[in-house]
A and B are shown apart, each in its own frame.
Chain A
Amino acid sequence: MAKAKLDRSAFMLPAGHHLHSVQRIALIVGIVAAGLTAFGAMSNPVQFFRSYLVAYLYCLALGLGSLGILLLHHVVGGRWGSILRKFLEAGSRTLPMLALAFVPLLFGMHELYEWSHADAVAHDPVIAHKSLYLNSTFFTVRAAVYFLVWITLATLASRWSAAQEEGGGPAVNKRLEFLGRGGTILYAGTMTFAAIDWVMSIDVHWFSHIYGLIFVAGQVLTAMAFMVVVASSFAGRAPFERIMCADRFHDLGKLMLAFIMVWAYFALSQYLIIWSGNLPEETPWYISRLSGGWEHFGSALIIFHFVLPFVVLLSRDVKRNPRSLALVACALLVFRYMDLYWLVVPSFSPGVFTLHWLDFSAMAALGGLWIALFVQQIKGHTLLPLGDPMLAPELAEGAES
Chain B
Amino acid sequence: MDKHSAPGPQEPNAMIGPGHSFNSVTDKISSIVLREGAPRGWWIGFGIGFVLTNMMLVSLIYLFARGTGIWGVNIPVGWGFAIINFVWWIGIGHAGTLISAILLLLRQEWRTSINRFAEAMTLFAVACAGIFPVIHTGRPWLAYWLFPYPNTMGLWPNFRSPLIWDVFAVSTYASVSLLFWYVGLIPDMATLRDRTVKIIPKRIYGVLSLGWRGSVRHWHRYETAYLLLAGLSTPLVVSVHTIVSFDFAVSITPGWHATIFPPYFVAGAVFAGFAMVLTIAIPLRRVYELQDFVTAQHLDYMARVMLATGLIVGYGYLTEAFMAWYSANPYETFMMSNRMTGPYAPVYWLLITCNILSIQALWFEKVRATPIGLFIVAMFVNVGMWLERFIIVATSLHRDFLPSSWAMYAGTVWDWSLFIGTLGFFVSLLFLFIRFLPMISIFEMKTMVPEAEVREDLL
Contact = CB atoms under 8 A, between A and B. Distances in A.
A188 B98 CA distance: 23
Contacts of A388: 3
Contact of B3 (A77, A196, A210): A77
Q: Is the contact region of chain A dominated by helix, strand, or loop, or is it mixed?
A: helix
B197 interface: no
Interface string A227-255: 00000000000000000000000000000
A269 B1 contact: no
A281 B4 contact: no
Interface string A139-182: 00000000000000000000000000000001001101100000
B106 to A, nearest CB: 9
B320 interface: yes
A273 B3 contact: no
Contacts of A170: 4
A387 B251 CA distance: 53
Contacts of A196: 326
Contacts, number: 92
A322 interface: no
A106 interface: no
A306 interface: no
Interface string B1-14: 11111100000000
Interface residues of A, number: 43
Interface stretch (A10-18, A126-134, A348-356): A126-134
A276 B251 CA distance: 7
Contacts of A389: 3-4, 6
Interface in B263-291: 263
Interface in A24-73: none
Contacts of B58: none
Nearest to B266: A265
Nearest to A170: B4
User: Of residues A192, A207, A390, which shows the largest number of chain B Cβ atoms within 10 Å of its Cβ?
Assistant: A207
Contact of B250 (A125, A130, A133, A273): A273
Nearest to B160: A276
Interface string A365-392: 0000000000000000000000011100
A100 interface: no
Nearest to B3: A77
Nearest to A181: B363
B1 to A, nearest CB: 6
B311 A185 contact: yes
Interface in A263-307: 265-266, 269-270, 272-274, 276-279, 281
Contacts of A279: 252, 257
A210 B260 contact: yes
A270 B245 CA distance: 12
B259 A273 contact: yes
Given A130-B328, A209-B319, A77 B1 contact: yes
Contacts of B74: none
Contacts of A78: 1, 3
A174 B263 contact: no
Given A173-B4, A185-B311, A389-B3, A212 B319 contact: yes
5 contacts: A209-B320, A265-B238, A273-B261, A276-B160, A389-B6
Interface of A: 74, 76-78, 82, 125-126, 129-130, 133, 170, 173-174, 176-177, 185, 188-189, 192, 196, 205, 207-213, 265-266, 269-270, 272-274, 276-279, 281, 388-390
Going nearest first, the 8 A-B pairs with the smallest beta carbon separation are A209-B260, A77-B3, A276-B250, A210-B259, A173-B4, A269-B262, A129-B328, A390-B3
